[in-house]
Amino acid sequence: MRPKRELNRDEKSAFAFQAWLDDVWMNGKWGPSPGGAASELGCERSMIDKLSDRGILDKSVYKHDGQYIVMISTRSIKKAKENKKKRGKWTDSGEE
């Protein structure tokens, strides 16, 4: 094993990506892409952005060295589905 400072650019990128994946997994934010989340919720892809901007869906973003990966947590998708079924809204806060 080598110190991080001795890694080349590709190895540092791989390390950063792995650290992001570990963080996503450990914090329960693992899930599908925004398109996959839209499919699971039965809504348009643009609705996923609106729901994540409002804090209803947990979105994790990896942006490093020209790479861009987004995950929507399975936990927040499940909660949004339950709210929609129960109240007819994506949130249980009483907001429209």
* The CATH fold of domain 27-87: Multidrug-efflux Transporter Regulator; Chain: A; Domain 2 (1.10.1660)
pTM of this structure: 0.79
**Who's near 75: CB < 8 A, 6+ residues apart?**
28, 29, 31, 58
pLDDT digits (tens, 9 = 90+) for 1-59: 788 889 998 888 888 888 988 988 998 899 999 999 999 999 999 999 999 999 999 99
pLDDT digits (tens, 9 = 90+) for 18-27: 898 898 899 8
Domain boundaries defined on the chain: 27-87
Distance CA 24, CA 77 (A): 15
